[in-house]
Structure 1
């Protein structure tokens, strides 16, 4: 791969890595910024809605305080109180009922006026109990207004007489429709929702009105989590089941909170839109940077390519090239250094040509002298070789004999070891066969005991069958007696009927006797059926016992045959063990004899080796002298060839 290709590859990798790092960090920052922007926007909407709701109920509280100072309301006069309640209601916005409730919990005055509800008690309501208990203003939970019949929230304000006693309180009934009007203009993103939620999770108002009708509640744990992270986005499945992010803001002066949620898909779509813009910008920037880097790279590599072409000519043997560069950077320094090196190399080639000619002439003279010495050494070596050949053949024959005897000895020793192992194994096998015979005898005895037990059980079951037959006969007798008794009772009833009033008591007794006879006859039939089943089961048991007795008898015969086989095997193994011992003793004697043969052959081998060694010593000295002469001849020949090669190489250079 060329420098240009490597540099381009490195540049592309660097641009890709830069794009990935910048893009990844940008995506992380962009996603966080998108979440933060949505959180700020949603928190602003929730805070605004909470502030408006808080201000609404603050205005109701201010109105209530104003009403509590009215002397007509403190007077206790029903007419004056009703007139003033009517006047206040006409000037009030957002209140669907304005009621004055006395200290006993009765509706004292109401606007719009409704005679049916005047005097009705609200003493059981929590807002009445709380207001009378601490004599302070309260905002109730959502209740169904008994006067209007619609879900409402009650805002109370105590009214005290001139002497400081509780005259009652003004109750402003605010319909949930008033809260719903606040949410009609609220829009959270494109598909987000908002709602006002009570402490128990009840939805008081929502951008989706259907949820109020369905009385859907926010789960308690989710509401608690939203309140703990007030003003912060947390994962939240919204009221219609979408995977969303939500935040909550408490409403001051009320026990309620505003919850605003937006589907994650919408937030992510905003993120993707911003991400697309960022990716396009990043790609454009990378393309511009890559183009600028490419132009700079072409200009930077052009001098290097020129130097590379000149160096290629030098590699082909052309030392007449001239490398020049006008730049003062590292590339210019490299060009000047190469030019100096080529000049020095050119001078060295000239000197090598002169020296190679001198070496070639000297090596030819040395080669002629070494050829004469080599011929004389070869004659001496031939004579000594004839002496050593005879001793070498003798030593080889002795070595072959010794190897054969050693192998035979090792084989005999191995056979002796194997026969010893076989003898031990045969003894163990004989012992095992004897133990097996004893075990088979025990099995035979046990099978005989089992056969006896099964025969006894079969006899007992047979007796049980005979007893069940006797019981069946007795039951048949009882059934016959019950039938006759039934007939007698029927005849007695007929005679009693003929007797009229005098036989009525006897007829009752006859009827009871007849019923008892029928019950006895039915019970006898059931017992007869059970006896039949017992007899059938007894017959099956007897057959099964007989089959078991036959199988046990067969098992006993097989066990006896197995015991006899074990005894025969033990006798055969004992005979084989004796034969193996005799073979082992004979093989040990043969192994000892083979060891003596090996010792004798080793002595012959030692003598042959000594004779061969002395002959080889003389031959080695002669061969060393011949080798030295040949090395000198070879060296002189190589030197001559090297001088010729050097001349050929030097001649290739163009000076």
Structure 2
């Protein structure tokens, strides 16, 4: 029972612990140490080399407990270990090991000799896994290094520098990690502020440059204005004289416009006469066309009569031929009748000849009548076109008449206005002379503005040089 209670207490400490006897043999090995090394208590008890359980490669080395067994009073002097409590000769040391999962562990060893009176009976060694502490310490150091480097870059003028959240920093406390955000927030604010200063400085520089350029331009403009005003005074004086001449010419133009108005009125009257004459010609052409068409009808009737006469002549000739035949049958008693028949035949032949001539003449006259009709029709069309053109001309003349009336009125008004402007020009000349005098004062003021803007520009250039030493993302 006593033995079982001791073992439960030994395991209940929760701190990896083992005990060596005076010969260096393992006599105790608690569960916490078994979890750390992966070596069970049953396998560890009785083993003479505890180091083999701490190093997976099985190498043998003296543990801190072995060193204390060898020199319980002088281990710190003989082996260079730390003497943590001289009153009980407790010694300490640190090292690294690989646990059963293959992970590297940072271990703190603490060994204390055990006595039975004055006799050394063994040594107890406490093995403390400080991996988390060491890792947190190293990560804290890395965090400090990261923040320090970032701060140095910012203080050196690089406002784009930021502290980075390394995955290894996850082991650190949130309050420590908040330092990174605080530093980055500060850098962001500083960069934003500097960016605003840079932007405002740039705007100010641009404004000053623009002001300086404007001042120079104003000075140049004032000087130029002064020269122009000098010229303007002379020009206005010449202009006043010219206005008087223009007024006289305007009167002449007014007279000419009146004459043009009269000429247009006469043109309108002549156009009316031409339209009336054209109407008469159109009427005459219509009559002529009707007469020519009537003549054609008459010639058609004559042709019909000639055709009848030709038929009669043919019949008469046939009868004369028959009479001669009968006279021949009658013998001598028919000689007189034969003479008459021959005479009738001669007349019929002559009638037929004249009928042929009349027919040929009628055909020629008919052809000429058709040509005349076509010519009259073309003339009639041309006359109608001329009448339309005269109508257009008459309309244009009417528009011109209105325009000339309006122009004549405008010219009369212009002549009146020119007279009024001549008086205004004289007043304007006096005003320009006054402005010329004022421009001399403006020129002096512009020189003072130029001097002030030059001084301001030098100040801004100095500020811009300082701001440009800071590096931001906008660069």
Q: TM-score range by the shorter chain?
A: 0.3 to 0.5
Q: TM-score scaled by structure 1? A: 0.30
Task: State which structure, 1 or 2, has the greater radius of gyration over its C-alpha atoms.
Answer: 2
Q: Identify which of structures 1 and 2 has the higher relative contact order when contacts are C-alpha pairs closer than 8 Å and 6+ apart.
A: 2
